[in-house]
Amino acid sequence: MARHMTATDKQTLTLFTAGACAGCGADLPDGWHADHRTPHAAGGLTSALNGDPLCPPCNLTKGTTMPHGTTTMTLRDWQRQALDLYRDPTPPSDFLAVATPGAGKTRWAATVLEGLLTTGAAQQIVVVVPSTRLREQWANSLYASHRIALNPSWANHNGTWTSDFRGVVVTYAQVASNPDLFAMHCSRTDTVAVFDEIHHCGERRSWGDALRTAFAPARHRIALSGTPFRSDTNPIPFIRYTDESSDPDFTYGYDQAVADGVCRRVFFTTVDGEFEWSSRPGETISCDFDTPLWHNELGRRLRTALMPDGDYLRRLISEAHNRLMSLRRDQPDAGGLILAIDQDHAHAIAQILRDEHAVAAVVAVSDDPTSQQHIDRFATSDAPWIVAVRMVSEGVDIPRLRVAVHATNTTAELFFRQAVGRIVRHTDTEHEDAYYFIPADPRLRDNAARIEEERDHDLDEPDDDPDAPTDPRDEEDPPPTTFVPIAARATVKGMIASGEVFDGAALAEAEHFLAANPEFAKLNAAEVIRLKRALASTQPTLATSTAPQRDVLEEPPHRRRETLKKRNSEIARRIAYRHQTEFRDVNAALNRAAGIRRVDDATIEQLEERLATATRWLAGGGPGLMPL
């Protein structure tokens, strides 16, 4: 098969693009390249139908891009790895990709879909999503990136799919209402089905059963999820299970995404308080978040904390607002999200923002038919705050969100991770960190501490544990519905970063240091504590104290060493990104500064010294500090 295109092919290519490079859009120079869209080595035809006119720079950079379709799209490392795995040796019938929210699952899926269409492995596409608002988002994304036109407005009663689209975007509920209709479409034309956030099918048996009926005839099925999952009672079709846990074909976790610079780091600010409420006539309970309670009182304590007329919620919002205003000095369009309990609660929170901070917040609640328009306008504006009740969740892409407030009484870990996913999306700027403000409820603190762990989330698990111990009096004499929140006052705050807990006293000292040393303004309190700790470990002791010393980290040496290695890698990537230099060059410079050849050979003390040096380079501003 000929490798080089004929003069006629080249003339056709230039006519098709009006003499412009198909990659960058610039005028084609002399000596431009006639490129194969589907590579010659992969069986692509040598003809104008499989060609793109590219300027030499665009063609020569294709080693790091995937030129599927009419656009040339740069893929992240994990996306290329997953794509290679999917195609090796041939596309499988079923494939489950689990990638942390914000990592780019849609972009990866779009590249896979374009490849299947180009090679003829599929003729049509069905994308299934959890909610109606995601239908248009998927259609817009696929068309913008790969010029794949899908119809997001198709309804079951329309029956046929029009020829001007390559397929449809529908909801799981839509499939469940008439699975046989989708089975007919899939059986008559080679179809690839994409199941977005497929773990939702574990919530309703009817959805899973319908999915199996509808898409068993499909030639290829691609399942996507933001987290590993398990489903003991409602196994999801087309998913491989090992010991009742999903067994993904490819996994890309949050910790990897942060280390690669794909997702932002998230710092969790926790706020404790003193609360008082009544659950029985004539009886009140007063406590803070560290007080042990019967399980049935945990939810009442959290609802008391979040009542709109209490001091606690105002303090939680104020802490978050101050952080957002600080971020907006460097990123003027940085935004914040407050998750509320219900519609009345959302409007009450908006009133607090208006009264105490002179901010007109956007409110998005499901009962408002215009809520999606509110979200869309917020996404493209520079408004500071949006208050939502489960409206800003999976798939909603607002990369400028950098702050979130957990003002809802939902504590399930899967929901918590999905909420964190709203603020981790990278915007390809140096603004990398995000902040989540949470009540110091033990359940939420545990969720925050485990955010970097790869865990299988039980889709059958309710928000509250039904087996947790409850007040024995409730079993003998269930109390009437007399829950009355009385008072809620905020007290101390803490922070959780990469699973490490920082107490209020240490944070207050670090914040005082930041106020007195503006040259370190790009650090937050947790980073200051780590920097001072690392510096202290490299300084000689001037006097021996007889006071008992507390182990701040309270972790075994092997775990401390792994933590330091991870933090060293993470901060080196941030330095490389900020100063537009190679990651390997930053690592080499840090190794020289620490007097080591390789990180794997370093002692804990050398890793701490290396981390302290890296933190100074990151905070100190100029590239001149780095001997690169």
pLDDT for the residue 503: 75
Q: Residue 623 pLDDT more than 50? A: no
Helix, strand or coil, per DSSP, at residue 440: coil
Strand duo 65-66 + 73-74: pairing: antiparallel
Radius of gyration of the chain (CA): 27
Which whole number is the average pLDDT over 57-64?
55
Q: Residue 517 pLDDT more than 80? A: no
* Structure-token pair, residue 564: 């330091």
Of the listed ranges 318-322, 334-338, 541-545, 608-612, the one predicted with least confidence: 541-545
- pLDDT tens-digit series, residues 414-430: 888 888 888 888 765 55
Name the more confident of 247 and 531. Answer: 247
pLDDT for the residue 552: 39
Of the listed ranges 64-73, 273-282, 405-414, the one predicted with least confidence: 64-73
**Could you tell me the pLDDT band of residue 166, with boundaries at 50, 70 and 90?**
very high
The answer to whether residues 108 and 146 touch, using CB atoms and an 8 Å cutoff, is no
pLDDT for the residue 481: 57
pTM of the model: 0.67
* Structure-token pair, residue 340: 């509320």
**Could you tell me the pLDDT band of residue 235, with boundaries at 50, 70 and 90?**
confident
Name the more confident of 349 and 56. Answer: 349
Strand duo 94-99 + 220-225: pairing: parallel
Separation of alpha carbons 519 and 335, rounded Å: 25
Q: Residue 469 pLDDT more than 70? A: no
pLDDT for the residue 544: 39
pLDDT for the residue 43: 57
pLDDT for the residue 304: 95
Which whole number is the average pLDDT over 266-285?
90
pLDDT for the residue 372: 78
pLDDT for the residue 67: 40
Helix, strand or coil, per DSSP, at residue 86: helix
Which whole number is the average pLDDT over 286-304?
90
Name the more confident of 63 and 436. Answer: 436
**Could you tell me the pLDDT band of residue 549, with boundaries at 50, 70 and 90?**
very low
The percentage of the chain sitting over the pLDDT mark of 90, rounded to a whole number, equals 35
Q: Residue 440 pLDDT more than 70? A: yes
Mean pLDDT of the chain: 81
Q: Residue 23 pLDDT more than 70? A: yes
pLDDT for the residue 206: 80
Strand duo 434-439 + 401-406: pairing: parallel
pLDDT for the residue 504: 73
Name the more confident of 555 and 573. Answer: 573
Of the listed ranges 26-30, 156-160, 409-413, 459-463, the one predicted with least confidence: 459-463
**Could you tell me the pLDDT band of residue 365, with boundaries at 50, 70 and 90?**
confident
The CB-side HSE value for 6 (13 A sphere, CA atoms) comes to 9
**Could you tell me the pLDDT band of residue 160, with boundaries at 50, 70 and 90?**
confident
* Structure-token pair, residue 456: 């299988």
142 CB neighbour count, 10 Å cutoff: 27
pLDDT for the residue 395: 53
Separation of alpha carbons 373 and 32, rounded Å: 45
Which whole number is the average pLDDT over 80-108?
91
Q: Residue 302 pLDDT more than 80? A: yes
pLDDT for the residue 308: 94
Closest CA to 433 of 583, 559, 511, 330: 330
Q: Residue 523 pLDDT more than 60? A: yes
Number of H helices, E strands in the chain: 21, 23
**Could you tell me the pLDDT band of residue 70, with boundaries at 50, 70 and 90?**
very low
- Please spell the DSSP secondary structure of 468-513, one letter per residue: S---HHHHHSPPPS--EEEEEEEEEEEEEETTEEE-HHHHHHHHHH
Separation of alpha carbons 612 and 488, rounded Å: 40
Separation of alpha carbons 417 and 396, rounded Å: 14
Q: Which domains does the chain have, with CATH numbers?
A: 7-60 (no CATH), 74-258 (3.40.50.300), 264-501 (3.40.50.300), 504-540+551-625 (no CATH)
pLDDT for the residue 68: 39
Q: Residue 42 pLDDT more than 60? A: no
- Please spell the DSSP secondary structure of 532-562, one letter per residue: HHHHHHTSPPSS---SPPP-SS---HHHHHH
